[in-house]
A and B are shown apart, each in its own frame.
Chain A
Amino acid sequence: MQTHKAKRVEITIEKIMQSRLSDALMKADVHGFTILPVYGGSGRSGLWDRTGQVGRAEGMVQFICIVREERLDALLTAAFKVVEKHIGVVNITDCEVLRAERF
């Protein structure tokens, strides 16, 4: 089957920043992304999980965006403005998709 090269960007960020990152991506003309809840993990502050969190200040979400390579820079520039000072991870991997016209 014919596949097409693309870039998969995963942005794990504080839940409180979810709407701001969504808005920034939309403004950068990145309209296709998925947001997943993060159950828990470990970072510089140690282990954490979603159980029993009392406010919106805690918790993380993960954005998954798949874009064509030429649109990667615009996406990262928009995302960086939002995530720069916040807890989180941004990573980029190569991937392949079936329907290139959707990205």
Chain B
Amino acid sequence: MGEILTLAANNLLSPIVLCFALGVSAALARSDLSVPEAAAKALSIYLLFAIGFKGGVSVAAHGVDLTLGLSLVAGVILSALLPLIAFALLRALSGLDRLNAAAVAGHYGSISIVTFVAATSVLESSGIAAEGYMVAVAAAMEAPAILSALWLISRGESGRMDASLWREILLNGSIVLLVGAFFIGMITGEEGLAEISSFVVAPFKGVLCLFLLDMGLVAGRGLAKGGKLLGAGSIAFGVLMPPIGAAFGLLAGLVLGLSLGGTVLLMTLSASASYIAVPAAMRVALPEANPSIYLTLSLGVTFPFNLVLGIPLYLAVASFVFGA
């Protein structure tokens, strides 16, 4: 318990979390502080490229093994399974109707790549290595949750998904960049990394701080605007579901034989909720669902929870289980 508190305290006082807190506070105080749209986009492109590239380099250094394939399969299964649990929990805790509950549930099977990036940063700070291919697992976990959410609401009724929506989900810019950078890193290896390390390694945390400042502003504005829509049950769900997802991630990590770092990342992925890919898919496939509910829950409740308390909690629990 003491270790968890120490980790949480260290995490709370890290520049990443403090930048996020600054953003949330500024938004709630109605400051005019803002990160220009194009700059925020550039920061996210940088982070996706850097994290994908470094993951690819790590795979090039350690080689491809069967665990990579199994981890991808596990990621897909987790992504498809977690919305079913989220749906049941949400229906039990809140008064949300089936449609909105299914839309929210879809977000909790998919992933938040920023939470993943923050977790890799915490692992790096703690000197804990992780499997580089977890980046590919993150990409694989984006879409299956959407199908589960649509299944929950339609139960065999077709017509919610069309070819262009499939293309948008599977080829959305974040996925293409993440997976593309992963393969570039895998092809060019350590030599490639040495050529651009001054760009993708050294400034990484500083860029992440600025990006999280922007995310804090967005989350704060979302909370200020959409918070009234959420009842106590929904907020409880937003805090309870991440540890439940993380528990499934921990189990999968142990079954797969992942390292401590890899298991923490799989726990973080399972605990995180999407606020980019899934909301876009839900607006097309389930336009009747209220976007203020699922965006506020995933971005305003679960994302801050994971960033501030969740990641150190998952690291501490995994460390305990691994005996590290």
Contacts and interface: CB of A to CB of B under 8 A. Distances in A.
Interface string B268-288: 000000011101101110011
Contacts of B30: none
B292 A54 contact: no
Contacts of A52: 27, 34-35, 37, 40, 214, 217-218, 221
Nearest to A84: B287
Contact of A58 (B40, B287, B291): B291
Nearest to A16: B283
A99 interface: no
Interface residues of A, number: 21
Given A50-B37, A55-B275, A16 B218 contact: no
Interface in B205-234: 214-215, 217-218, 221, 225
Interface string B14-51: 00000000000001000000110100100000000000
B308 interface: no
B215 A54 contact: yes
A53 interface: yes
A69 to B, nearest CB: 30
Which among A19, A46, A52 has the highest number of chain B CB atoms within 10 Å? A52
A16 B292 contact: no
Given A19-B164, A52-B217, A52-B218, A57 B287 contact: no
B37 A17 contact: no
A79 to B, nearest CB: 15
A86 to B, nearest CB: 5
Contacts of A81: none
B218 A20 contact: no
A87 to B, nearest CB: 8
A52 B27 CA distance: 10
Which among B164, B172, B277, B291 has the highest number of chain A CB atoms within 10 Å? B291
A56 B212 CA distance: 18
A54 B299 contact: yes
Contacts of B250: none
Given A16-B283, A58-B291, A46 B276 contact: no
Interface string B94-106: 0000000000000
Contact of A14 (B40, B164, B283): B283
Given A55-B277, A55-B280, 6 more contacts: A47-B225, A53-B218, A54-B276, A56-B280, A58-B295, A85-B288
Interface pairs A-B: 9 shortest CB-CB: A57-B279, A55-B276, A57-B280, A85-B287, A56-B280, A52-B218, A57-B283, A16-B283, A54-B218
18 contacts: A20-B164, A46-B225, A51-B34, A51-B37, A52-B35, A52-B218, A54-B275, A54-B299, A55-B275, A55-B276, A55-B277, A56-B276, A56-B280, A57-B279, A57-B283, A58-B279, A85-B287, A85-B288
Interface of A: 14, 16-17, 19-20, 45-48, 50-58, 85-87
Interface of B: 27, 34-35, 37, 40, 164, 172, 214-215, 217-218, 221, 225, 275-277, 279-280, 282-284, 287-288, 291-292, 295, 299
